Amino acid sequence: MLEHLNQTPAFAERTVVVGAGGFVGGAIVRRLTAAGASVLEIARRDVDLSRADAGAMLAGHLRSTDALVCVSAIAPCKDLQMFKDNISLIEAFCDALQRQPVAHVVNIGSDAIYADSMEPLSETSCAEPGSVHGLMHLTREVMVREAAGATPFATLRPTLIYGADDPHNGYGPNRFRRLAAKGEKIVLFGEGEERRDHVWVEDVAELATRILGHRSKGALNAATGTVISFRDAADLVVAQFGDNIPISGSPRSGAMPHNGYRPFDPAATLAAFPDFAYAQPADGIAKVHAQALSKA
């Protein structure tokens, strides 16, 4: 749950976004800039967090009056080496934060920290990751919170993110759109019967911007509360193209992830931001298609 320290939104003197060159970081930068915030973008070309002196380098960019956003990660985290590499990045971030404290810290994490549940997940659900990726995000979140100390700290935990600029080509709306754009067959795992929550990257950026404006502290999930099957997601994507893009199933090599169902309760989002509404799947996928066409 979130607690707003600014009841009337007011951005920090400057917001520093570490990981600004990435998919989510870039969306947050654009949204902050559109909202009138002063933003300092820190991408890998500016500070390489894998360097031994990265903490000192990043600290040199910070001021005590800044809001600091941590988006930089190597994701998805697939194995132990990637986990170690991610921890190294966060160690540098935490070192910088301890060298130069700031006014507000916001971490962009993941819903992967939660244990599987057939009941809707909330911000108070058990943090018991079932994957290395989830363990990485939970470890990162704890490390940044501890490094922040008395500084107000908020963490935003998005579920599966989709958007026009996604670089990962992950299974779901992002991959389906790329295949459909090339007129290629969409092949589902099994019959695509797993049901998941998908959140538009622009909604994640909007929530991060609101958290920064309110100088909020606490935790918030970024999840719509609507679960759809991957088959339905593929159908929604194909419908944008007006073409007869084939969709087929395939034999599964293992059990369905998350028992095939991972729902969320968005009540905390509505409590924190009563005028905010998530883009539902059909609308969000249509907006992504329009964005992609505008960039073609």
Mean pLDDT value across residues 79-102: 97
Alpha-carbon span 43 to 193, nearest angstrom: 38
The burial of 182, by beta-carbon neighbours within 10 Å (0-12 exposed, 13-18 middle, 19 or more buried), is given as exposed
pLDDT band at 121 (very low <50, low <70, confident <90, very high): very high
Average pLDDT over residues 67-79: 94
Identify whether 173 is preceded by a cis peptide bond (ω within 30 of 0). no
The predicted pLDDT at position 75 comes to 87
Average pLDDT over residues 143-171: 95
* CATH assignment of 2-163+198-225+262-278, among 3.90.1150.10, 3.40.50.300, 3.40.50.720, 3.30.70.20: 3.40.50.720
For residues 134 and 35, give the distance between their C-alpha atoms in angstroms, rounded to a whole number. 31
Beta-bridge partner residues of 29: none
> Domain ranges in the chain?
2-163+198-225+262-278
* Average pLDDT for the chain: 96
Q: What is the CB neighbour count within 10 angstroms for residue 143?
A: 18
CB 82 within 8 A of CB 132: yes
| Amino acid 29: pLDDT | 98
Predicted TM-score of the model (pTM): 0.96
For 18-63, the pLDDT digits (tens) are: 999 999 999 999 999 999 999 999 999 999 999 999 999 999 999 9
Q: What are the Cα distances from residue 140, in Å, to 40, 73, 103, 107, 252?
A: 22, 9, 20, 9, 32
Q: What per-residue string of b and e applies to 226-256 under the rule 16 or more CB within 10 Å gives b?
A: bbbbbbebbbbbbebeeeebebeeeeeeeee
Q: pLDDT for 167-193, tens place per residue? A: 888 899 999 999 999 999 999 999 999
Give the pair of three-digit tokens for residue 154.
């908020």
Q: What is the mean pLDDT of residues 286-294?
A: 93
> What share of residues in the chain are helix, strand, coil (percent, to 5)?
40, 20, 40
Query: What percent of the chain is predicted at pLDDT more than 70?
Result: 100
**Cα separations in angstroms, 270 against 79, 223, 275:** 35, 11, 8
Q: What is the pLDDT of residues 229-286, one digit of tens each?
A: 999 999 999 999 987 899 999 999 888 888 899 999 999 999 999 999 999 999 999 9
Q: What is the band of 296 on the pLDDT scale with cuts at 50, 70, 90?
A: low
- Nearest Cα to 136, choosing from 159, 112, 162? 112
